[in-house]
Structure 1
Amino acid sequence: MAATGRQQPLWHPPPPPVEGVQLPQLKIFNSLTRMKNDFVPLDPQGKKVTWYACGPTVYDDAHLGHARNYVSTDIIRRIMKDYFGFDLKFVMNITDVDDKIILRGRQQHLLERFKEKFPQLDRLLIDETESAFASYLRKNLPLVPKGTTAETYKTESDKAYQAVLDGKSLAGDGSPPGDKEAKIKMHMRTAASAAEALQLVSHGPPAIDVDTFYSKTEDILLPWVDLSGGTSIDASDHSIFTKLTKKFENRFFDDMRALNVLDPDVLTRVTEFGPEIVKFVEIIVKNGFGYATTDGSVYFDINAFEKNGNSYARLEPWNRNDQSLLADGEGALAKKTTEKRSDADFALWKASKPGEPAWPSPWGPGRPGWHIECSVMASETLGKVMDIHSGGIDLAFPHHDNELAQSEAYWLGETGCQHDHEWVKYFLHMGHLSIAGSKMSKSLKNFTTIREALARGDWTPRALRIVFLLGGWKEGVEITDELVRAGAAWEDKITNFFLKAKDVERNPSHTDPSSTTNDNSLLSSLSAKQTALDGALCDSFNTPTAMRILSDLVTDFNSLPPQSLTPESVLTTARWITHIVTILGLDGNASLADANRIGWAGVEIPPQAQNIVYPLSELRDAVRAQARGGEIKHAELAKLAEQTRPGKTQPVDALPYAEAASQFADEVEKLAAAEAPAKDLLALCDRLRDTHLWNLDVYLEDREPPLGAMVRPVDAGLKAARAQKEEAARAKAEAREKREREEAEKKRLKEEAAKVDPREMFRTAEWSAWDGEGVPTKDAKGEEVNKSRRKKLVKEWERQKKAHDEWVKGQGKA
């Protein structure tokens, strides 16, 4: 069955298909088959598409690695919804209970109680922290000698882990360092921070306050307080844990909205599906694919599942025996048991130990295993089969492989045999994000949070999305200087195109083509690029190619003289590019409903400035044109200035622009009255551009006549270019000043040397006899100076005499 969900795009006019050529159907790279498959929705009409995406585990702020996953997912979602026209039901979960959350929530709760017990920076708190420090070293940095103190920590840890610090593996076998070494570096940094705090308070009056002390030592205190009190908390009080998850769930969605990621259509939370999870596990056990242990836990029986003719680890079969991945999938609080029938069997339900939240079940108080939550929530919201399941590539095994197995085991009761059932049609996995070769990871604490990156200005939401679009969705993306530059160049190119198109939209008379040749060339390029972009998006959402196609279209536009195109051809091209970049999520909350919209956020000056700045720019154009043309009509300029001056009553937010315009009009009138020369008028125009409007974040980009200045906002690119220009000018001025200083010093030294009378210049200890002019005849030992040497001395004497005579002459003139 062919997918019929595609609709005609909103641009005008739509690209006509080439005669005899069928545009390709959508293909998607499917992790289940590890190849591109035709996308055929489950919906018989080919319109509706169901999609479940694994959401975050909310115990800390989202980092750039999360941005990579959720922004890339958002890109594909937007393309399917807004380009192909599918009616999506997009479900995402929030994991608000798992081992990490339990541990972090419990630790934070206990640390607050610890702070209440030790509110002062006294000996009691210091002793307790020193014990926590020693415990942290024993557990996480075992090569550091026992008895190491805060004072000796750096020396001992550097010695113990020198190989890791040198960028080598701990094994010492020449293998490259990996996550193990990264974790050691993380633990070394954590211990170093605590050691620094302890040193600042160990001798004499504390050099820091108690809040700073806790900030520096928190990461060693958290496991310490949990070690001593973790099992004693009242775990029936679920607010201990939900306090943490509610906070970070809200912060996660704030971050996603800041990145222009659409909210899910349906949001599910694990804690809201307790009874459904228990029922789901019961049916898996009933179907013969799960078993309970004496402690009240329930495990999935992989052997039984495979003996029934089913496949396990279909996504990443090569990882099924990776013990580190299996252990990570079971969680940090997993209880080791000899009752598991196989080491690879995974928990469907975990018996709750003291200090862990619990829900009732037939097997006793417990909580869901990590993998079962998604199976239940997806099945409850989407049914027994869905079109798409997505997540980061790190979830493929064991999380998604375990989801597949337990879900198919659950639905076997209806179908009888796995071969008759497919729980997920298409699995999509987003590639990793790495910086300098290191994967972003909360556990490694090598991440930059989204809000930090945006607040510091490291990234803008658009710039980050562009980088992901340039890298594709399933391949790993490494942030390099080259990639950042490529993204910035792409954004600048599209922005400059939109600025030109907006200028044409405002000033259609600026274009006056004498023929339609260039119009036909641009529209032909547009049609070809529309067809090519359709092919790229049909090719498993090939956004790198799509981005290149958009760039190439702008290149084709830029190659044509701007005045040789009709407004219609320029604006048609601009509207299509606007439509596509909006589909890709590059324009904030812009609507696709307005088919005539051009540009994206950042190409327009503020609305309150437009009625003032555009007429002001036209006045300046007129002043510059006359000043540069050689014939200045002062009376005409004065009249234009009077007509352009803003009214006296302006909205408050428009006042700064009105003041700049009024000041410029006043200056034009003064110079016109004085019949000022061209240079004064041009200097006035430059001050308006470079100072008054620049300080209001408006820039007038001058162009060759008859085109007037292009009005545009001052953006990061302009600021960087100006800073670079100013730095170059500063460096040039410094170099000039240095040359002048050096030349002045050379002149001074030359004058000082010229002051010496040639008859006195050789009267030094190097010689013992001289003739009447002061030329040496004997050296210090009394030996006669030979002819060759004397000849050189005489020449030197003559040069000095000439210089000295000129100096004496100059003194006389003075």
Structure 2
Amino acid sequence: MAQPPWQAPPEPSELVRARLPKLLVYNSLTRSKTPFVPRDREGKKIDWYACGPTVYDDSHLGHARNYVSNDIIRRILSDYFKFDVNFVMNITDVDDKIILAARQQHLLSLWLEQHAAVDRDVLDTTHAAYKAYLEKTLPMIPAVTPPESLPAGIEQIYGHVLAGKSIKNDGSPPGDDEAKIKMHLKTVSQAGEALVLTEPTIEEFSLKASGVLLPHIDALQKHTITGKDYDIFTKLTKKYEDRFFHDMKSLNVQYPDTLTRVTEYGPQIVNYVKQIQDNGFAYEHEGSVYYDTHAWESTGGVYARLAPWNRNDKELQQDGEGSLSTKNTGFKRSGADFAVWKASKAGEPSWKSPWGEGRPGWHIECSAMASDVLGKQFDIHSGGIDLAFPHHDNELAQSEAYWSKSGKDSQQWVNYFLHMGHLSITGSKMSKSLKNFITIRDAIGNGSWTPRGLRIVFLLGAWRDGLEVTREVVKAGRAWEDKVDNFFIKIRDVQARQHPAPGINGATNGVHKLDIQEVAISGPMAKELELTKKQFHEAMCDSFDTPTGLRVISDLITLYNTQKAVDIPEAVALELGKWVTEIVVMFGLDAEYKSGQLGWSGLDIPIEAKPFVIPLAQLRDRVREAAKAGAVNVSDLSTLEDKDTTYDSNQPYANAYADFQRKLHQLQAQNAAAKEYLAASDHVRDKVLWDLSIYLEDRDAEHLPALIRPLSQSLREERSTRDAAALTKAAAKEKARQDAEAADKKKAELGKIDPLRMFRTLEYSAWDAEGLPTHDAEGMEVAKSRSKKLRKDWERQKKAHESWKIESGVVGEIPAGKGAS
């Protein structure tokens, strides 16, 4: 059946149309960019439903890509375009994966409580679990393979997969199938390691063997769980819901305006399914209720509007159906029909319904919750691209069927579907089920990423495109962040010089409220700012084109950096800084931003350092200036008598200031040359303050005082690279010296050999008067060609021997025509 035309929202009034931005949004319903028009008659309010997490494990960087991208678009709509966004998100706290994970963990913990040590029962059960796991997930490896022989068997059968090749080993790139194989290999390998441990504790053993024990114990004991044992499942989901929102807060993702949970919508979901059935678009079979795609399409409705090419994809359908996919499906009226209500089986939670004890189908919860909160129609529905089919296609079909009595009166349930691209590692998407993920808390906790750095990388990629994390991507993100860092530090310096605030010895403390006076902002740089604002606006109107948005900001900063600071009016520089600040805050790049602040957070040195580092830097500037002029007088130096050094956190900075003053007094007492003062100034910059994670950036060419800034990762890496290059160069120089010394030594040793005796070896049997061989060991005369070569070697050695005699003081020459007997 042909795809129905997208039903554009009603045309707004002329007044509203004039107020709306000319925003185009890539809409999965049309697979094109379509004009964005809210349903709200005033053109101000946007209703948005986002598919939230399935909470049974920690969120990973793939989830971060989805939810941070949602957050970026939400901020653009609300903070840039000034829409009133009503953001609704669900928590899926009951589905096949959650039920399985919660039940498995619960049953395994009960089983382990019964075993204080690794006894015979533990070993027998684990051997059985190991065998069952091999049979189910890795059938190419014989299930009878002993644990000690497993590594060799894995290498023989799957060695090429572990080496990064595809299963077929035909040169095609690896993907999800290979990631799944690696996951199973890791699980069974750890179990094999457990089974060959010598006298392990039960904790050590279970840590390695749990991967195979979880499904095995579950298969044996899941019947012991009743449908009303809700606590078993909610214990897991509450834990991971809390951890999810903690992760989101760490990434500066805004909390939803409304949060819904599946377990809190049991009666509404039952009523929702009943209404679909009453409308004639669902049927019951053995306690489960299935959506009738044929009945829906016979009335003019369309199924699989988002991804019609996947309509008959059995693998995707089975993934959506979960445990029901293993049943005989011959009863289905159409192969595309899917469960909206599932009869609960042993070990599954259940709720009362007209069809018996059961639980919601995977897709129905979003339809029921979004319809309950947002009604018959709303503006935006979002989620990861993997949800387009079957999840969102099923949502669309069942929701429109719910609101329609006949199918012919159906209305478009959602106007704009936004699907976020995957984050992948070496060609395979991150997935909980594949266990090939890096959790958000690990990535942030171990320093691999910062929340700002991660968000910048996502901004550098189009929200709907896949993003593979490569070294180049990380490098590009860091370069952009460093560029903006440097820009903000310079702009804050301009602000400090325009509005100096008193500090220690009259120093400025670097913290000021943005206060640009009413002045005419004009000139070339001001015009570039206005052009950049226009380009940025066009990028945001082009389906939230953040890569272009970041590029035009970078271009503006590049232009600013190429101008002499004295050529740019301070008011214009501050206006640039104010606008860039507004944009990076709008993008969510500063969770600690304070109103009126110029630049993002993280630009200041520690507050306890300022009373000492600021005057130190000012003193150093004066010393360097005087040293370059050829005369340094430090007799009027300030002292530390009025400095508070009672806190441990202050002491390192106080010491740095005091040590620098003492060094200057020593140099003056020694009547040191100007270069010694410069060397001391370099030392305090390159060693003392560097070790305190503070960097002084000298600006001699601009005739400005040194910038005081925290030490960034890029500066550390730059120095590390420079130091490594210097070490390499020094090592190469030392090697060359040693090689030359060894060559000279070898030459000297060779020079000791008298050419009259150099060929007196068993290789020859007769020699002439000069010691040159005439016959070989067998008495054969040495060939003329051979004699010529031997003569050259003899003459070279004669010269070396004569040089050695002269250098070592040996008197005498080799007599011509005489040989040794």
TM over 0.5: yes
CA separation of 1:783 and 1:372: change in aligned 2, threshold 3 A: closer
Counterpart amino acid of residue 586 in structure 1: L
CA separation of 1:93 and 1:807: change in aligned 2, threshold 3 A: same
Deviation at 1:212, TM superposition (A): 2.3
2:669 equivalent to 1:673: yes
Alignment partner for residue 586 of structure 1, among 585, 589, 604?
589
Deviation at 1:399, TM superposition (A): 0.7
- Whether contact under 8 Å (2:425, 2:469) holds in the other structure is yes
Q: How far apart are the structure 2 equivalents of 1:776 and 1:794? A: 9
- Whether contact under 8 Å (1:82, 1:583) holds in the other structure is yes
Gaps of 5+ in 2: 1-10, 501-518, 812-821
2:621 equivalent to 1:625: no
Deviation at 1:308, TM superposition (A): 2.0
Question: Which residue of structure 2 lines up, in the alignment, with residue 439 of structure 1?
Answer: 429
Q: How far apart are the structure 1 equivalents of 2:218 and 2:792? A: 91
- Whether contact under 8 Å (1:646, 1:658) holds in the other structure is no
Alignment of 1:346-745 (within 5 A): 346-413=338-405, 419=409, 421-508=411-498, 520-591=523-594, 593-594=595-596, 597-629=597-629, 631-634=630-633, 637-639=634-636, 641-642=637-638, 647-649=643-645, 651-705=647-701, 706-745=703-742
Per-residue deviation, residues 355-385 of structure 1 (Å, max 9, x unmatched): 1111122222211111111111112222221
Q: How far apart are the structure 2 equivalents of 1:285 and 1:776? A: 111
2:216 equivalent to 1:221: no
Secondary structure at the aligned position of 1:728 is classed as helix
2:252 equivalent to 1:260: yes
Question: Which residue of structure 2 lines up, in the alignment, with residue 68 of structure 1?
Answer: 65
- Whether contact under 8 Å (1:260, 1:589) holds in the other structure is no
Q: How far apart are the structure 2 equivalents of 1:164 and 1:777? A: 66
Q: How far apart are the structure 1 equivalents of 2:16 and 2:441? A: 36
Per-residue deviation, residues 172-230 of structure 1 (Å, max 9, x unmatched): 99976553343233222221221122123xxxx43x43322211111111110111011
Q: How far apart are the structure 2 equivalents of 1:776 and 1:286? A: 115
Q: How far apart are the structure 1 equivalents of 2:341 and 2:249? A: 34
Q: How far apart are the structure 2 equivalents of 1:355 and 1:303? A: 33
Deviation at 1:151, TM superposition (A): 2.6
Q: How far apart are the structure 2 equivalents of 1:261 and 1:5? A: 34
Q: How far apart are the structure 2 equivalents of 1:790 and 1:87? A: 100
Q: How far apart are the structure 1 equivalents of 2:169 and 2:808? A: 78
Deviation at 1:535, TM superposition (A): 0.7
Question: Which residue of structure 1 lines up, in the alignment, with residue 190 of structure 2?
Answer: 193
Alignment of 1:258-297 (within 5 A): 258-293=250-285, 295-297=286-288
Secondary structure at the aligned position of 1:36 is classed as strand
Which piece of structure 1 moves more, 253-262 or 69-78?
253-262
Deviation at 1:4, TM superposition (A): 10
Per-residue deviation, residues 623-664 of structure 1 (Å, max 9, x unmatched): 1122233x2132xx331x326876144554333212211211
Q: How far apart are the structure 2 equivalents of 1:314 and 1:562? A: 56
- Whether contact under 8 Å (1:5, 1:86) holds in the other structure is no
CA separation of 1:108 and 1:4: change in aligned 2, threshold 3 A: farther
Deviation at 1:729, TM superposition (A): 1.4
Question: Which residue of structure 1 lines up, in the alignment, with residue 808 of structure 2?
Answer: 811
Alignment of 1:95-174 (within 5 A): 95-161=92-158
Secondary structure at the aligned position of 1:395 is classed as helix
- Whether contact under 8 Å (1:3, 1:40) holds in the other structure is no
Question: Which residue of structure 1 lines up, in the alignment, with residue 819 of structure 2?
Answer: none
CA separation of 1:388 and 1:213: change in aligned 2, threshold 3 A: same
Identity of aligned residues (%): 53
Deviation at 1:572, TM superposition (A): 0.8
CA separation of 1:632 and 1:4: change in aligned 2, threshold 3 A: farther
Question: Which residue of structure 2 lines up, in the alignment, with residue 10 of structure 1?
Answer: none
Aligned residues: 781
CA separation of 1:163 and 1:680: change in aligned 2, threshold 3 A: closer
CA separation of 1:222 and 1:6: change in aligned 2, threshold 3 A: farther
Q: How far apart are the structure 1 equivalents of 2:805 and 2:167? A: 78
- Whether contact under 8 Å (1:616, 1:644) holds in the other structure is no
2:77 equivalent to 1:80: yes
Question: Which residue of structure 2 lines up, in the alignment, with residue 243 of structure 1?
Answer: 235
- Whether contact under 8 Å (1:529, 1:553) holds in the other structure is yes
Q: How far apart are the structure 1 equivalents of 2:169 and 2:678? A: 70
CA separation of 1:658 and 1:429: change in aligned 2, threshold 3 A: same
CA RMSD of aligned residues (A): 2.9
CA separation of 1:172 and 1:719: change in aligned 2, threshold 3 A: closer
Secondary structure at the aligned position of 1:97 is classed as coil
Q: How far apart are the structure 2 equivalents of 1:37 and 1:235? A: 47
Counterpart amino acid of residue 622 in structure 2: A
- Whether contact under 8 Å (2:16, 2:42) holds in the other structure is no
Deviation at 1:601, TM superposition (A): 2.3
Gaps of 5+ in 1: 8-20, 511-515
Per-residue deviation, residues 322-356 of structure 1 (Å, max 9, x unmatched): 11111111123656254433232221211111211
Q: How far apart are the structure 1 equivalents of 2:770 and 2:738? A: 36
Question: Which residue of structure 2 lines up, in the alignment, with residue 13 of structure 1?
Answer: none
Deviation at 1:304, TM superposition (A): 1.5
Counterpart amino acid of residue 632 in structure 2: K
Question: Which residue of structure 1 lines up, in the alignment, with residue 301 of structure 2?
Answer: 310
Secondary structure at the aligned position of 1:700 is classed as strand
Q: How far apart are the structure 2 equivalents of 1:270 and 1:588? A: 30
CA separation of 1:776 and 1:283: change in aligned 2, threshold 3 A: closer
Q: How far apart are the structure 2 equivalents of 1:780 and 1:434? A: 73
Q: How far apart are the structure 2 equivalents of 1:381 and 1:152? A: 58
CA separation of 1:210 and 1:332: change in aligned 2, threshold 3 A: same
CA separation of 1:803 and 1:166: change in aligned 2, threshold 3 A: closer
Question: Which residue of structure 1 lines up, in the alignment, with residue 5 of structure 2?
Answer: none
Output the TM-score relative to the length of structure 2.
0.89
Q: How far apart are the structure 1 equivalents of 2:277 and 2:735? A: 85
CA separation of 1:485 and 1:567: change in aligned 2, threshold 3 A: same
Deviation at 1:243, TM superposition (A): 1.0
Counterpart amino acid of residue 238 in structure 2: K
- Whether contact under 8 Å (1:699, 1:714) holds in the other structure is yes
